[in-house]
Structure 1
């Protein structure tokens, strides 16, 4: 009788030690290679993104795209344009989109008189801004050679590799694969204009 009790105690004690060790070793192996983490942001302008706070890469990942852009100081002109066009809710409520976001530097390339005219014309501004949005999350690999329909209705093209990917042959992605809660953002050095 005593032997049986001792055996049960030893066996249950051994199980208590073996089970956690087995789970600890097995759990990581069971999930190895199943990560679906997004690609890391790439491009020279990523270095100028704030290191912490709501405008940082980690901070932007928590917010929907229009809110995330408003927290990034290099996207303040874009944010103002989105507000003027009344597209904040549209962009924030969109699901799984890619936004090609012109930086302040990109908007600065447009002559002031032309930019002021664009910002004052809500219909044209909406057309330009929705031309910067594709209705699916695109990976860096897909951008190496692609043609994508925009929310505006026309297509844009992408080509290149690594840190050197251009949109429509003229606008360079200077910080790509930036995650937000509902979109992937690719920051551009030139504003895209939809075909007439």
Structure 2
């Protein structure tokens, strides 16, 4: 699936449905288990050691399914389902997802989050802004800017194992591999300019 077909699917999906939703954000436990080879960041220490939510378990599933097995990403998974992007993300190849944690969504005032979740077009725009149509390996993270499926740009900065996205979101567990994507878990929801 190409970037253009993913973007087109996201736009068509947003235009086709509207689901009014009010979602209360409840704090979920952070990741729970040891760091695996390749993954980096402070939250990786709490990824489950075994099971479908572990790093090995996530590597077996496509990205949306893998995220659904991780309790720290439950709000993101709910939003992806509401936007109708599960199949789009699961069928894409070689993408990178910057995945906000439940705590990242909890930073958004409840009334604002409810409004976003009730507006499928806006929700789709925000979610596709978190997806880059290429594999952004740790070696590429320091290289600057990457075009998102939404059409905007994410700017990364940092070195070693400490990176920020757009100068405000920190990668708290990076380089998580799924069957079709690389996931970098972030601590802030990003908004398109």
Taking structure 1 as the reference length, what is the TM-score of the superposition? 0.79
Q: What SS class does the counterpart of residue 139 from structure 2 fall into? A: helix
1:188 and 2:186 are equivalent in the alignment? yes
Is the contact made by 1:96 and 1:137 (CA closer than 8 Å) also made in structure 2? Answer: yes
- Superposed, 1:32-51 pairs within 5 Å as 40-51=38-49
- 1:94 pairs with one of 92, 95, 102: 92
Aligned to 1:20: none
Whole-Å Cα distance in 1 between the matches of residues 101 and 142 of structure 2? 21
Aligned residues: 158
- 2:132 pairs with one of 127, 131, 134: 134
Whole-Å Cα distance in 1 between the matches of residues 129 and 151 of structure 2? 7
Whole-Å Cα distance in 2 between the matches of residues 185 and 109 of structure 1? 21
Displacement, 1:68? 0.2
- 1:156 pairs with one of 154, 157, 160: 154
- Superposed, 1:63-102 pairs within 5 Å as 63-102=61-100
Displacement, 1:145? 2.9
Aligned to 1:175: 173
Displacement, 1:163? 2.2
Is the contact made by 1:85 and 1:125 (CA closer than 8 Å) also made in structure 2? Answer: yes
Displacement, 1:80? 0.2
Whole-Å Cα distance in 1 between the matches of residues 85 and 166 of structure 2? 24
Taking structure 2 as the reference length, what is the TM-score of the superposition? 0.80
Displacement, 1:51? 1.0
Q: CA offsets per residue over residues 81-105 of structure 1, 9 Å max, x none? A: 0000000000000110000000011
Give the RMSD, CA atoms, in angstroms.
1.2
Judge which range, 45-54 or 78-87, deviates more.
Answer: 45-54
Is the contact made by 1:156 and 1:167 (CA closer than 8 Å) also made in structure 2? Answer: yes
Which runs of at least 4 in structure 1 moved beyond 6 Å after TM superposition? none
Whole-Å Cα distance in 2 between the matches of residues 87 and 115 of structure 1? 18
For structure 2, the residue ranges without an aligned partner over 5 or more in a row are: 1-36
Q: What SS class does the counterpart of residue 185 from structure 1 fall into? A: strand
Q: Normalized per residue, which structure has more helix?
A: 1
